[in-house]
């Protein structure tokens, strides 16, 4: 038996939608992308949505926009940005690439997300933004984060790449901040292989990220007519009005993601049911001896689960590597909880990234944590028994 992170990622209809685009022989970003952006913005309760070729690209774009000279309120070199120590690499790198100073803050073990008390302690006059990273469908107390941002006039980024569809007080994550990002990579809440989405609150930011996504061109942005009139001597097909990248998606991925997105609510329900069945079966097993700790949603949180995060009992810490290898040999795919404590990653040494304070919880998550997938279809009882049996083998190794 096998239990990969995700199974049968694409339906026949998803494939058909992708193929239809391919058959037109016009696969670069066009109508399908624009359609998906509109649908996404509406259903995700976002003012504006812009599709990119990955969640990392969405992160890069939102930081680039917040630092852009065109923006009145903007981040400047050496401004401090608070970021949780359990984060993804590309939640962090855009900050460094734009000369900002990341200030790491430990996470709360109950939510795997940034610890609010620690966050308050690390805010200084130099703090200008927060990069929240919503881990595996969970979030911090967003009311508190918003309160802090308002009081201090901070920019809020939400890396929601692992939490598409999660809600806090019934509001979808990614919409609390000035900018939010999502990923459609394999095994995420929906997938188009690669792909991402950026959402933002105001039109100026939307037009700016659109421009930065495509080379810094004015084309298809509200800046175009102004520059066209001002630079009459130039060919207005190519007016470069800002810095930029090429972070555009393919229309093929937009068509697939759009079709998957129709099933997001169903996926959320199925993943949640599978999670509940797995936990119940584990805890009702005759072999259950508190080998694991599970993360439960805190007040006001409605998670859209990405996977099933598990913390092993501390007494098994020394066995953890062997245990995870054992699970792999049994076909049960597993991953660390994001990066563990990011401050332990080799790249932080290369860039001499240090942070004051204690990172005890991130360390616990690194040393005891992992996650397994949650499929978008009901897991068959036999497979559930197989997963439970092998998880509980931790005692026997």
Ligand X SMILES: Cc1ncc(COP(=O)(O)O)c(C=O)c1O
Catalytically active residues, by annotation: 188
Interacting residue with ligand X among 63, 114, 133, 282 (CB under 6 A): 133
Q: Is 192 in the site for ligand X (CB under 6 A)?
A: no
Closest separation in Å from C-beta 54 to ligand X: 3
For residues 144 and 173, is the Cβ–Cβ distance under 8 A?
Answer: no
In the complex with ligand X, the residue whose CB is nearer, 56 or 111, is 56
Interacting residue with ligand X among 88, 217, 223, 342 (CB under 6 A): 88
Count CB-CB contacts under 10 A for residue 310: 21
In the complex with ligand X, the residue whose CB is nearer, 257 or 392, is 257
Interacting residue with ligand X among 106, 108, 162, 178 (CB under 6 A): 162
Contact segment (CB under 6 A) with ligand X among 85-93, 227-235, 257-265, 355-363 equals: 85-93
Size of the site for ligand X (CB under 6 A): 15
Q: Is 106 in the site for ligand X (CB under 6 A)?
A: no
Interacting residue with ligand X among 33, 44, 68, 90 (CB under 6 A): 90
The residues in 3-62 that bind ligand X, with binding defined as CB under 6 A, are 54-56, 59
The residues in 330-349 that bind ligand X, with binding defined as CB under 6 A, are 338
Q: How far apart are CA 184 and CA 262, in angstroms?
A: 14
Contact segment (CB under 6 A) with ligand X among 87-95, 119-127, 142-150, 327-335 equals: 87-95
Contact segment (CB under 6 A) with ligand X among 83-91, 256-264, 371-379, 380-388 equals: 83-91
Site string for ligand X, 284-323 (x = CB under 6 A): ----------------------------------------
Closest separation in Å from C-beta 59 to ligand X: 6
Closest separation in Å from C-beta 72 to ligand X: 28
Closest separation in Å from C-beta 249 to ligand X: 11
Based on the number of CB atoms within 10 Å of its own CB, is 164 exposed (0-12), middle (13-18) or buried (19 or more)?
A: buried
At 89, list the tokens. Answer: 């690499």
In the complex with ligand X, the residue whose CB is nearer, 18 or 174, is 174
For residues 65 and 212, is the Cβ–Cβ distance under 8 A?
Answer: yes
Closest separation in Å from C-beta 115 to ligand X: 17
Query: C-alpha 141: how far from its chain's center?
Result: 17
Interacting residue with ligand X among 108, 115, 141, 159 (CB under 6 A): 159
The residues in 219-278 that bind ligand X, with binding defined as CB under 6 A, are none
In the complex with ligand X, the residue whose CB is nearer, 81 or 133, is 133
In the complex with ligand X, the residue whose CB is nearer, 54 or 362, is 54
Nearest CA among 189, 194, 197, 245 for reference residue 217: 245
At 215, list the tokens. Answer: 């080379």
In the complex with ligand X, the residue whose CB is nearer, 271 or 281, is 271
Contact segment (CB under 6 A) with ligand X among 15-23, 100-108, 154-162, 325-333 equals: 154-162
For residues 175 and 199, is the Cβ–Cβ distance under 8 A?
Answer: yes
Q: Is 91 in the site for ligand X (CB under 6 A)?
A: yes
Interacting residue with ligand X among 118, 139, 183, 221 (CB under 6 A): 183
Count CB-CB contacts under 10 A for residue 204: 16
Which residues of the shown chain bind ligand X in the complex (CB under 6 A)?
Answer: 54-56, 59, 88, 90-91, 133, 159, 161-162, 183, 185, 196, 338
């Amino acid at each position: 038996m096998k239990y990969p992170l995700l199974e049968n990622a694409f339906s026949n209809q998803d494939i058909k939608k992708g193929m239809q685009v391919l058959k037109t022989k016009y696969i670069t970003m066009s109508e399908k992308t624009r359609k998906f952006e509109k649908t996404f913005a509406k259903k995700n309760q976002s003012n504006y949505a812009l599709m990119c070729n990955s969640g990392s690209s969405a992160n890069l774009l939102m930081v680039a926009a917040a630092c852009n000279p065109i923006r009145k309120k903007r981040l400047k070199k050496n401004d401090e940005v608070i970021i949780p120590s359990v984060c993804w690499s590309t939640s962090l790198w855009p900050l460094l690439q734009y000369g900002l100073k990341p200030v790491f803050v430990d996470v709360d073990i109950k939510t795997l997300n940034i610890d609010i008390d620690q966050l308050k302690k690390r805010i200084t006059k130099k703090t200008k933004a927060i990069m929240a990273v919503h881990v595996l469908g969970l979030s911090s107390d967003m009311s508190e984060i918003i309160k802090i941002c308002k009081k201090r006039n901070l920019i809020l980024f939400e890396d929601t790449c692992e939490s598409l569809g999660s809600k806090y007080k019934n509001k979808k994550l990614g919409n609390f901040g000035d900018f939010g990002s999502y990923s459609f990579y394999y095994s995420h809440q929906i997938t188009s292989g690669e792909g991402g989405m950026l959402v933002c609150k105001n039109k100026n930011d939307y037009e700016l990220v659109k421009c930065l996504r495509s080379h810094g061109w004015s084309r298809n942005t509200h800046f175009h007519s102004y520059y066209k009139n001002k630079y009459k001597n130039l060919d207005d097909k190519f007016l470069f009005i800002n810095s930029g990248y090429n972070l555009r998606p393919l229309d093929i991925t937009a068509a697939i993601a759009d079709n998957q997105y129709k099933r997001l609510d169903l996926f959320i329900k199925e993943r949640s049911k599978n999670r509940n069945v797995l936990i119940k079966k584990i805890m009702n097993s005759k072999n259950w001896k508190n080998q694991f700790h599970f993360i439960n949603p805190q007040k006001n949180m409605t998670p859209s689960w990405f996977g099933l995060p598990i913390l092993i009992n501390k007494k098994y810490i020394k066995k953890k590597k062997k245990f995870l290898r054992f699970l792999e040999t049994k076909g049960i795919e597993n991953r660390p909880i994001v990066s563990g404590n990011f401050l332990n990653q080799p790249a932080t040494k290369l860039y001499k990234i240090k942070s004051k304070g204690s990172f005890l919880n991130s360390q616990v998550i690194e040393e005891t944590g992992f996650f397994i997938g949650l499929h978008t279809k009901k897991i068959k009882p036999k497979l559930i028994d197989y997963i439970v049996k092998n998880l509980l083998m931790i005692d026997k190794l």
